[in-house]
Structure 1
Amino acid sequence: MNMVKRIMGRPRQEECSPQDNALGLMHLRRLFSELCHPPRHMTQKEQEDKLYMMLPVFNRVFGNASSSTMTEKFQDLLQFTTQVSRLMVTEIRRRASNKSTEAASRAIVQFLEVNQRRGGVTWLDVC
């Protein structure tokens, strides 16, 4: 699955109610707190998976919000975006590792490309 699709999540079918938005924000805060202060040691894969789970939640809560609203409602925004940026760099490095320049660039483009095909169910459709 590609990074853009993971970041964007499912398209919003309709606007969420303020209560749904508040619940989503509370869930996002809890997930990020668990990522930053895990109750037990987490592997890098577990940390990445947890961050990938947060991306659709973040998009649903802040999909149409201004940057000032995001900063106001989610004080950990800078830390969150730093983590997402690091994850993206890690994913790009993985695709470039041990490949020719041409093969690496194809793998990176494929990773970043938005897949326009519909049909198969992805984990984003289930979330």
Structure 2
Amino acid sequence: TTTNRLTPLKKSMQVDLCEVGYFLKQTEDQESLTLWRRDSPVLDENLEEGGQAYELVRGVSALEIAYQGPDGQETDSWDTTVDDQEKQVLPVLIRIQLTLQDDQGKNHVFMTAVHPRLAQRSEQ
């Protein structure tokens, strides 16, 4: 979820919190992948449907996401489920690496890292 909406609704009673998802989709010619962003004002259990999808970039040859927990360990997946005994913990760092291939077949790598504001750092 985020408070950064791509399509703010005027005269709406909705809050600015929205569900956001990113996904890769094969191009029609099956030659490459396209990165999409899905934005939904409805927060629900279904993270793959609803809202509006926007094409961001074509020519994706790789997308890598790594998560760092409060303990400093890095992993390529993050468990978002919680039970009654555990409180949900966000990763303290999310590293994203996107590789795009141009028309000449050359790869271009873009990297960034995000620190979720609500993440809890471990006490040491």
Shorter-chain TM-score range? under 0.3
TM-score (norm 2): 0.25
State the TM-score, normalized to the length of structure 1.
Answer: 0.25
Judging by fraction of residues, say which structure has more strand.
Answer: 2
Q: More helix by proportion, 1 or 2? A: 1
| Greater length-normalized contact order (CA 8 Å, ≥ 6 residues apart) | 1
Structure label with greater radius of gyration: 2
